[in-house]
Amino acid sequence: MKIQDIIWEYFRCIYNPWLSDNWYRFSKSLREDLLMFRDKLYGCKSMEELKETIYTLTRLYMISPNEIKDQFMEMLRKTEEYYRKKGVEIDLNKRLKLHKVQIVVKDEDRRPLKSVQITVMYDGREIWKGTTQENGRITLNLNEGKYTIFASINEEEWYGLNIVELNVPMETEEKTITIKRHQKYETIKATIKETES
């Protein structure tokens, strides 16, 4: 069986029915990504290229809306099973394994900061938002990949922001993000102009 026949059968039996059943649940940008994946897969010329292209589905799964994740996971399971039957070993579970990530946010004096807004971005899209606890910590479960973390404080008199890149799995158990506090308002000093008499 030729590679194009394997791909065409996959589209006919698994991918296209799933795509049409769930189309209305996807954002415009995710729809475009899913169509781009389909075009790229159809153009594969080798089994290695096919495997690498299939692995991009895990990236799309991570940025998919929560209400579709179960259906997306079912399609991934069927995809893995289909290709295994065709003699192509694909391990999507390895790419989707969750890793525990500890983040602690501190100020420039190394004091933990509570209620810091944390935004996790993956592939340019927001995938999670929350705030740090009393001890400045937050625990996330993230798939393997490269993330951008925005940590910001916006208090009555102070603000601060730090943006860090995070590779998962991490080499250490914990990632520290330091935020420098800045005053929101400058204190206005009165100036007295001397007049000549």
User: Could you tell me which residue, 181 or 115, shows the higher pLDDT?
Assistant: 115
3-state secondary structure of 117: strand
Q: What is the mean pLDDT of residues 71-92?
A: 94
**Cα–Cα distance, 136 to 17 (Å, whole number):** 46
**Cα–Cα distance, 96 to 61 (Å, whole number):** 9
Out of 41-45, 69-73, 170-174, pick the least confident: 170-174
pLDDT digits (tens, 9 = 90+) for 4-39: 999 999 999 999 999 999 999 998 999 999 999 999
pTM, entire model: 0.67
- Is the confidence at residue 103, as pLDDT, over 70? yes
Phi, psi angle pair for 185, to nearest 5°: -125, 135
